[in-house]
Structure 1
């Protein structure tokens, strides 16, 4: 998760403002206490007030630096001692002047945060007792209840702060989990894409090499098969390099890609002594599809040709690329056994998945008597 995004959220900004207000309140009430004291220039009072302010700044600054990763020393190990010193200095300040009593309100946050709920509430209750019954006791009920109401309000504000802080942490964790899930989904999608690429390129090339090598064993003159094996191996090597470099097939137009595919398939089938006729035609003119769409249509043609010559025993195949005003269509027709189905491997389902990624559709008509027609259409408006 991007920390900048999280820290810029309204909730996180609100918590930062609350902390800032707390620090400003401590500074303001400390200054007011000094000014309002009967003897503001007394050495002990100034020394105690200065020590209180310095101790507060050092502790909160240390805690903030550790939270931001700017300090390796964990402040929490010394937090209890720090809070005890702050409380002791405040007790001395109230002893010297009742004007410092109001500092108890921001101190409520420190006592509850450091000492916890039970011990913190006991410390707060004792501090309120020090204000009302100590060296400067309250002379009226209002003088006693006023600080008490303020303390209760401060305790309520602290727990509201804790709730907001908890929600902020939950939001951070949720966003982190969402980011991890999105990253995982991206990895799975990329893995699936690579599996399709490997199946459509390297796996089919290696399969052709295996078939050609078997044919060479039974041939009196295996030179033609060996030459074709060499060509297929070179093509596979180029495909592997393009796959590693994520180049796809972007440097050639779609008609050039398909013509190259058809010619390579012709050579392979000839080397295998398969008397299959493959015809490639281009009809119409229009907007050349984007590289991503061209790659999807190329893979559809590659898979359809492989199925026709290896599994359908087709003797005649036609690959037709047609440009329409707002779409491009690819039709592969064969006179093979038919019966093409969406099943194991990538096959028809793989073609359909590729076309879905670019907003295209796939139609398959397959009959045992007439062969198979595979039609793919993609809008050039969306893909261009």
Structure 2
């Protein structure tokens, strides 16, 4: 349970307890009800560290107030926040057993110790049972969603590593092909130059010039390939569609927009674009709690603009992470700039990367 959820649960408890008592007809003196609501909210604020202890203390407090007739309704529902916290901590069975115990206790108390009519008991305890079942089901669904998103984020990282390995093998083959081809072509031109050196010096000179051109192009290709091997980049944007599909499997609504005419993008720039999108989506899946994310790529003759915006609430914990810092360093190394932070509706990552030879 995150800090934001804990604060929200504490506030809802502070407001919800008096409201619930008023709706169920169990409202006692204002001072007592306010004291109970404040005490329960204070307990909930510690639920992240001690969920079971908070649940036991909350149940005990509510039961004591009911049996002392300080409030006239409510056995389980005032402890909803503690039950939800325990469920989110992976202890659903404990939450169900505790709820069942309190409902049975309340049934015995309201039926035999201080009897109420059958309709009153059915309305109050039946309503509590339905409320608690709904709360626990919602908490379980939310926890499963978080676990699924974390699993998808892990799959994204594994996919990146797999693609890196495949790309490095392909680049190794390219290195072999470039070197073999270059040596063969340069060897042919050198042989021609050697044969024509005395009889046809112009032809020899032309062969040497062509050999030098082939050598220059080969050096450029080798430099780019070796740089990719060193950095472990993925110099292709074709993999974005597959990346977006994997994020959609996590339950996120993903929109992808491209503007401008796609231009030939050098390998380092393509790799940086891919990394910005991949890392941003991974952060969204893991931390943002978002339901929708929009990925936009704008092409210009001399630059590429990448924009990733979600509608989540996890921006405060995302802006200082290592992933953001790594993206910023990667983009800066290419002469670009990256900004990341909370936007109007969520978290936004925006990078501008110049296209250079």
The TM-score bracket by the shorter chain reads 0.3 to 0.5
Report the TM-score, using the length of structure 2 for normalisation. Answer: 0.43
Question: Quick check: which has more Rg, 1 or 2?
Answer: 1
Report the TM-score, using the length of structure 1 for normalisation. Answer: 0.41
